[in-house]
Chain A
Amino acid sequence: MNTVPLQTTAVSAAVGGGEAATFYVLGTLVVLAALGVVFSRKAVYSALMMAVVMIGLAVFYGINQAPFLMVVQIVVYTGAVLMLFLFVLMLVGVSSSDSLVETIRGHRLLTAVIALCFLVPLVSGLAAITAGEPVGLSAGVAAAGGSIPWIAGEIIYRYVIAFEATGALLITAVLGALVLAHSARTKKKRTQRQMSQDRIRGDHPTPLPGPGTYARHNAIDMPALLPDGSVSQLSINPVLAARNPELQHGVPEDLSYSIGAAPDEKPDTAASDNDGQREDEGSWTR
């Protein structure tokens, strides 16, 4: 690194004090957010922490004279990839928080040992290296007429095979996603005759109670009250009940004084019994 070309000495590519301050503040933030990605219990928090990491890295790219990559990082990663993650999270179930119990004995300990074995030699070794003043990209940028023309020239001329290959990869990925995300109907579609038969022969021939039959609250997440004052488990949408079981008991304070315990039947089975009916029958007004 001692042989700095003469052209770049005029243009300052040196690491200034402002950059050092930015590095330490933002680097701490990025490391903390990365730890948050790994150790937050809910997957949505992990995704949001991931956004912090991505944007922090985008700022680092900007500092390191890579404005094109900074924009691509924000547009592609924070904008597209992360939103795709959040979209799939919402589909797969936000509330599916991991149990953090380890299934393999000594798994955590071994992971920590491996991480330390990797991190300590690498960081201590890298910290011992002094790279000196960076050469910087200013000379090349000036010669190519800008940072983006330089990258474009490299991609189109020198790396054109890789460029074409990534094009083929993207097309294949699109086709793969289309094929994988397309779902054939796993169960046969129930006819109206079957639905009416199931309904009459089932244990609940009448329409299900609607939610929120109080005078003051008619929100969809308020359970209806039965004549004896208990909560009707059937009045809540099974999706809401599955997301948050506490909704089953979300009865207003002033009405709950006369309410006994919730009925003993298990809400899960009750919800799953009605699941098919509610999804399939559009005509079943609640």
Chain B
Amino acid sequence: MQEKRLRYENLVNAYNSWLYRYAYWLCGEKATSEDLVQETYLRAWRFLDSLKDEKAAKSWLTTILRRENARRFERKQLAYSEIELDSLPSEREDFDTRPEVLALRNALRLLPKKYREPLVLQVLEGFSLEEIANIFDLPRNTVATRLHRARQKLRKHLNGEEQLVQVNELP
């Protein structure tokens, strides 16, 4: 039991910041992000014995958090119209406030989720293509295509060549 608790504490200390940021870009709300992190770790504690390789811990926790987010929508039965798109990162005090970064933050908010999610994993936490492919259960080439398009869309949006538009999405 003591050994399990030590493992658990190490996981919390090592990855809670990453999980919070990822949750924030999934749901766009501080309070919900905290809840998602808490629920993720509660589930991780219950199934900690199934984590055999510590090197896989970050991917394992990320996968749990994605599922918790999906369950959140299932529990609440959120409809398209109930998703508060404007709530996606809007708390300016949390951000670098340089104009180019603010413009990017807005562009990221408009970027379709299927492009934004792998980009968050790669840029913010350095996940490899293979790790992202495993988390999303997608072929590696599909992930590569999405990352390519994500950067291309952001670049064109910032250069005024192509405007990203708001779309309602399910989780």
Q: Please indicate whether A and B come from the same complex rather than being unrelated chains.
A: no
